Structure 1
């Protein structure tokens, strides 16, 4: 899908309406948790999905949002969840049974790892964590019991790039599914289904929502797979509230504008930090110095994302002082919003992983992650330069 087509889809999502609500210009907000049925036959039809029955099962605002996401991702159907972790949980629980095996990029979101280690393995599912920069290692990890391969496109927080075309080709050859968390990239940069993935996941809390006022998640793919995911979703009860679905649809109209500005700001910040002597290195695939810049160029469409990370001296007291000096950028436990935010990965996962485990995957006390917002780029750069003064002028 080209940039013009994407912009058209985003501007038109407000007129997408679910089932009997079709035909109206704007999407109404349906706060009802239950929908009236006329008799037993009507109830049975509703129970089979022919009309609405109960909010946890299906609801107009979620359906409308799901249809919009399906169009953007070029998928057949989408399940919309109350949180990104709800989407991830439903996928792993729906597609695995006792004795199953999954291959997972060892650099995925920390709470995904916690889900797998603390919950999925207790149900008898085996998990292999692999460095996805080595396609040979991924293939060696696949066994006869492997059900799916799971990865992100850009890893958190080191911004390594996964060769999605190669991974999905391997998965098809071995007869397993590929599931991709594309939260960092969004449909603005890549549509994983077009690259051979079977399911694509988003934390809608981030770029889709964009304003830090909703929490949500989504899974998009074939009708057959999404039917399985939705069945598990209904049993887990992880449904998005109507208000949040309505707000997410609102936000979709401006996503192209927001994300383009965020990517421009990220590129400007990365370029400024790369030339700063107080910064050891910058992780941003848009930099020519990034070891996978050529892969990012080939894989991503029209940008390199709005996330970056950089490393300063491994002195936590100085890192805290740097944070205290910031005036524009805020220390927030999320990303993807219109306000530029900072995160300290080593602190975020200090209770779940040891220092040795964190450093083994490149997470040091001096590593800082930035989610670029839509403010003026020069203001952001000046804010960082003044804050870096704690490491020397």
Structure 2
């Protein structure tokens, strides 16, 4: 779906729960924690269909939710305080003691902790499986399997999830398929269109795009959303109105930003692959990528796959430091998806808790960097990386 359709929510003067904003050019910020009423009749009406308290309802959050639903081709969306808030709240709402979850082995570190450490204290079992071989998923199914969970692209190895096949396996066994779309965004792919039941976005990343606000979203059927909604209120994880307001601002440029970032990533990935000092590049646009064929079935083109990649350089810490210092455009940051190109070192960040032997089995070495590509001129980016990589020839 084109973003212009989602933007109608802002520009048609829509009435949000009875409040007519008369076509504001910039959507207003409702920073108040409460709405007032003048009579008991008005109070009763407010609790039915209007706004009362910020934790239960807010126009900025609701408007952002409508936009995300449109972009993700879902029935309804809830906005959360963060991507992790979205994940944990959804799990607490949908699984119960005795349930079983099949989770992709290649998963974000804190999602791993939720699945393996947090949920286990509530009597929920999570099994980690290598989703690259889909037979592993089939073999892992149990009578009490409630959910299959994966990211579209794994962090940081960029392994691609076969969403249509995962959806069929889940639905054949009365389970739900939950997909994290953070690394790709609905501009690249809409997992619900491929059979996913629930889509989570850490909107802090590409959907915001400006590295200045934190929010998460869950998009699903109205039935699933209504199951999660009261738990979100009880957990205190609804999104902040100001952050939601900032997200609406960021999403207005998402189509322009993401297409530029994804196209830049495809070109930079090829240039890095051709460099003599780079031993491996992980990006689905490359023909050398093990799941390139699957990626071509899921994404519209090689230029619209993702703004994220990873690459491996020699394991020489002194020269790695020199390489980083030689870069002019890219810089180290602990987040991703912003306007500028950023680097992250998994061995010292997201996967630092894992033994080196286990990391290497996953393809993560001390020479690996995850790269979030920005909107800079792609020729400038390529030139910059090529000159910085020369340090490995010295």
Within a 5 Å distance, the mapping from 1:16-165 to structure 2 comes to 18-22=16-20, 24-26=22-24, 27-48=27-48, 50-165=49-164
Whole-angstrom CA distance in 1 between matches of 2:9 and 2:180: 22
Quote the residue 1:313 is aligned against: 314
CA deviations over 1:34-57 (Å, ceiling 9, x no partner): 111334454344344x11111111
SS in 1 for 2:262: helix
- Which has the higher mean CA deviation after the structures are superposed, 218-227 or 351-360? 351-360
1:234 aligns with 2:233: yes
How many residues align? The count is 388
SS in 1 for 2:281: strand
- Which has the higher mean CA deviation after the structures are superposed, 293-302 or 303-312? 293-302
* Residue 183 (structure 1) shift: 0.8
Whole-angstrom CA distance in 1 between matches of 2:134 and 2:204: 31
Is the 2:109–2:351 Cα contact (8 Å) retained in structure 1? no
CA deviations over 1:98-129 (Å, ceiling 9, x no partner): 11111101111111001222211111110000
Quote the residue 2:167 is aligned against: 168
Quote the residue 2:331 is aligned against: 330
Within a 5 Å distance, the mapping from 1:264-343 to structure 2 comes to 264-302=263-301, 303-343=304-344
Whole-angstrom CA distance in 2 between matches of 1:242 and 1:126: 35
Is the 1:14–1:249 Cα contact (8 Å) retained in structure 2? no
Is the 1:13–1:252 Cα contact (8 Å) retained in structure 2? no
CA deviations over 1:184-208 (Å, ceiling 9, x no partner): 1111111111111111010110111
Whole-angstrom CA distance in 2 between matches of 1:129 and 1:293: 24
CA deviations over 1:66-86 (Å, ceiling 9, x no partner): 011111111111000111110
Is the 2:116–2:125 Cα contact (8 Å) retained in structure 1? no
Quote the residue 1:387 is aligned against: 388
* TM-score, normalising length: structure 2: 0.95
CA deviations over 1:285-341 (Å, ceiling 9, x no partner): 001111111111111124111111110112233222211221110100011111010
CA deviations over 1:249-275 (Å, ceiling 9, x no partner): 111111000001101110111011011
SS in 2 for 1:104: strand
Is the 1:17–1:60 Cα contact (8 Å) retained in structure 2? no
Quote the residue 2:8 is aligned against: 12
Is the 2:282–2:311 Cα contact (8 Å) retained in structure 1? yes
Whole-angstrom CA distance in 2 between matches of 1:17 and 1:243: 20
Within a 5 Å distance, the mapping from 1:169-248 to structure 2 comes to 169-248=168-247
CA deviations over 1:350-372 (Å, ceiling 9, x no partner): 54322223222221101111100
Whole-angstrom CA distance in 1 between matches of 2:319 and 2:41: 68
CA deviations over 1:129-150 (Å, ceiling 9, x no partner): 0111111110111111111100
Is the 2:327–2:388 Cα contact (8 Å) retained in structure 1? yes
Whole-angstrom CA distance in 2 between matches of 1:43 and 1:143: 48
Whole-angstrom CA distance in 1 between matches of 2:45 and 2:96: 30
Cα RMSD of the aligned pairs, angstroms, is 1.5
1:365 aligns with 2:363: no
Whole-angstrom CA distance in 2 between matches of 1:269 and 1:101: 41
* Residue 23 (structure 1) shift: 5.4
1:376 aligns with 2:374: no
SS in 2 for 1:219: strand
